[in-house]
Amino acid sequence: MMLVQMAVQSMQEVVAGLRLDLLLKLATAVLLGGAIGLERQVAGKPAGLRTNILICLGSTLLMDLSIRLAGLDGRVGDPARLAAQVVTGIGFLGAGTIMQAKGTISGLTSAATIWAVAAIGLTIGAGFYIEGVGAGLLVLVVLLVLGNLEHKLVRTRRTVPITLRAAVATDWAPLEHLFTDTGLKVLDRETYDHPRDRVFELRVRGPAPQFEVARDLLIERADVLDVTLH
Each residue's pLDDT tens digit, 23-68: 889 999 999 999 998 888 887 777 788 889 989 999 998 888 888 7
Q: What is the mean pLDDT of residues 79-91?
A: 78
Plot region of 15 (φ>0 → left; ψ -120 to 50 → alpha; else → beta) = alpha
Put simply, whether the predicted model's pTM sits higher than 0.75 gets the answer no
Closest by CA position to 147, among listed 52, 54, 44: 44
Count of H-run helices and E-run strands, the chain: 9, 6
Q: How many Å from the N-terminal Cα to the C-terminal Cα in the chain?
A: 80
Q: What type of residue sits at position 179?
A: F
Taking Cα atoms as reference points, which of 196, 195, 204, 183 lies closest to residue 225? 196
Q: Quick one: 198 and 93 in the same domain?
A: no
The mean of the pLDDT values for the chain is 83
Overall average pLDDT of the 117-144 stretch: 90
CB 118 within 8 A of CB 60: no
Residue 87 sits in the same domain as residue 196? no
23 within some domain: yes
Written as one string, the DSSP assignment of 81-103 is HHHHHHHHHHHHHHHTT-EEETT
What CATH number is attached to the domain comprising 203?
3.30.70.60
95-119 mean pLDDT: 75
**107 plus 43 within the same structural domain:** yes
| Close Cβ partners of 141 (under 8 Å, ≥ 6 residues apart) | none
Are 83 and 50 in the same domain?
yes
> Has residue 5 been placed in a domain?
no
Q: Among positive and negative, which fits the CA dihedral 193, 196, 202, 204?
A: positive
| Structure-model confidence comparison of residues 30 and 98, the more confident one | 30
In the chain, the number of structural domains is 2
In a domain, 78, yes or no: yes
Examine the domain organization and report whether 110 and 163 are in the same domain.
no
Do 177 and 136 belong to one domain?
no
- Specify if 129 maps to a domain: yes
Q: Are residues 177 and 146 in the same domain?
A: no
**Shared-domain flag, residues 163 and 130:** no
Residue-number span of the structural domain to which 180 is assigned: 157-229
Task: Say if residues 199 and 142 touch (Cβ distance below 8 Å).
Answer: no
Both 170 and 210 in one domain: the answer is yes
Is there a single domain that holds both residue 48 and residue 140? yes
Residues with Cβ < 8 Å from 137, sequence gap 6 or more? none
pLDDT-above-90 percentage for the chain: 43
Residue 3 included in any domain:
no
Q: What is the DSSP letter of 106?
A: E
- 184 and 131 share a domain? no
The residues, ordered by sequence, that sit 6+ positions from 179 with a Cβ below 8 Å of its Cβ are 185, 186, 204, 214
Q: How far apart are CA 105 and CA 181, in angstroms?
A: 23
Band of pLDDT at residue 136, cut at 50, 70 and 90: very high
% of the chain at pLDDT higher than 70:
83
**Residue 42 corresponds to which amino acid?**
V
Residues 173 and 215 in one domain: yes
